[in-house]
Amino acid sequence: MEDEEHAHRDAHFQEELESLKTSVARLSSLLEQTLRNASGEGPSNRPVTFNQTPTTAQPEERMSEHSQEPQHNPVFVQSTTPAPAPAIMDAFANESHQAKSSDSLDQEKIAAQEARIKVIEGVDLYDPVRATEMCLVPNVVVSKKFRVPEFIKYSGTQCPMTHLKSYCNKMAEVVHDEKLLMHFFQDSLSRAALSWYMRLDNTKIRRWKDLVEAFVKQYKYNMDIAPNRTSLSNLGKKDKESIREYAQRWRESAAQVHPPLLDKEMVTLLANTLKAPYYEHVMGSLAQQFTDAVVVCERIEQGVKSGRIFTPTEKRGFERKEVNHVEDGYKGRKNLSQNYHTLP
């Protein structure tokens, strides 16, 4: 029984091996034909053959005297006509060269078409790849725990140094991180100052120091035209403006004077900007503090409104009635002279 199973197994293996050999021979023939067609040499006329020595299983063979089974080792001899190796290598080289040249031509055509489309449609202006070029501080890392503070907006009309100090105080938590300082500085700007920030060149502004120098240079004129003692003396109270409103407006301008004014000096400068009857009463008072001078002015304002303090009116020229009276008198004298000459 065991011999029959071995024989059946060997026969099955032989069939599978024969089918595999046939498939390999067919594929080899097709490959050689394809390579020859690609190289231009025409189809190959040399067949590929596989020779097999006939072998048969002999299960009924007797055992030898030494009780050894006969070994069944089928030998297969493959007789093929080998193709020349240089021709195959040349075919592969030619085929790869042609493939590379065709790929490069296709890539060049695609690139040219994309360039034309970008020029026509203007897609290059909105290319998301250029977003990093538009950022003043690319690759900035913001921690999730960091909360952006509320900044006092700078519009371009205040002192730049004052704004920088205020901004650094707000960013005290990350004051040593230059990228965060540069990135969030835009949140403290508005109007023309924000437009100035957006026009900065990131190739020139690389550090926080560069940004500070550019900012101070841009808005230094606000420091040059800051209010001084002469400009404070030229201020004046408007007709429909209360004393308190005028004092607050005047004090805001005085706060920008450098070096700072003393209270006694501010009282004198404020009094010089007032008209009668405020000037006489403030200069005659013993007010030494600015707030005391404002209180005196408010009492005078109440007296003027109640009519107890007289406010002098300015003369604005001759009245029309007086001019007519002079003209009428002149006409009367003229008529009298005419009547005098007509008497007999």
pLDDT higher than threshold 80 for residue 164: yes
User: What confidence score (pLDDT) does residue 250 get?
Assistant: 94
| Structural domain contains residue 290 | yes
Q: What is the mean pLDDT of residues 317-322?
A: 50
| Structural domain contains residue 266 | yes
User: Please, are residues 177 and 206 in contact by the beta-carbon 8 Å criterion?
Assistant: no
| Structural domain contains residue 54 | no
| Structural domain contains residue 21 | yes
Domain termination site, one of 175, 205, 224 = 224
What are 298-304's contacts with CB under 8 Å, separation 24+?
Answer: 298/243, 298/244, 300/243, 301/242, 301/243, 304/277
Residues listed for the chain: 344
Same domain, 293 and 243: yes
User: What confidence score (pLDDT) does residue 246 get?
Assistant: 94
Same domain, 242 and 206: no
Q: How many domains does the chain have?
A: 4
Confidence at 328, pLDDT banded by 50, 70, 90: low
Same domain, 3 and 17: yes
Same domain, 219 and 254: no
Same domain, 189 and 218: yes
User: What confidence score (pLDDT) does residue 29 get?
Assistant: 84
pLDDT digits (tens, 9 = 90+) for 177-236: 999 999 999 999 999 999 999 999 988 999 999 999 999 999 999 988 888 888 888 999
pLDDT digits (tens, 9 = 90+) for 6-29: 777 888 888 888 888 888 888 888
Q: What is the CATH number of the domain that holds 299?
A: 1.10.1200
Domain termination site, one of 204, 224, 244 = 224
What residues have CB less than 8 Å from 312, skipping those under 6 apart? 276, 277
SS3 letters across 185-224: HHHHECHHHHHHHHCCCCCCCCCHHHHHHHHHHHCCHHHH
pLDDT higher than threshold 70 for residue 52: no
Same domain, 301 and 246: yes
Instruction: Report the percentage of the chain scoring pLDDT > 70.
Output: 67
User: What confidence score (pLDDT) does residue 210 get?
Assistant: 95
| Structural domain contains residue 86 | no
Question: 283 or 127, which is more confident?
Answer: 283
Same domain, 233 and 289: yes
Sign, CA torsion 129/134/136/142 = negative
- Amino acid residing at 62: R
End-to-end CA distance of the chain: 190
Domain, as residue range, for 22: 1-42
Helix, strand or coil, per DSSP, at residue 158: coil
User: What confidence score (pLDDT) does residue 1 get?
Assistant: 63
- Angle (deg, nearest 10), helices 208-218 and 160-170: 150
Q: What are residue 154's phi and psi, to 5 degrees?
A: -105, 120
Confidence at 326, pLDDT banded by 50, 70, 90: very low
Determine the Cα–Cα distance for residues 85 and 82; give it in Å rounded to an integer. 8
| Structural domain contains residue 92 | no
| Structural domain contains residue 101 | no
pLDDT digits (tens, 9 = 90+) for 56-107: 444 444 444 444 444 444 444 444 454 444 444 555 555 565 656 667 777 8
Nearest to 278, CA basis, from 303, 254, 314: 303
User: Please, are residues 170 and 146 in contact by the beta-carbon 8 Å criterion?
Assistant: no
Separation in Å, CA 308 to CA 70, 80, 134, 301, 311: 149, 136, 68, 10, 9
| Structural domain contains residue 110 | yes
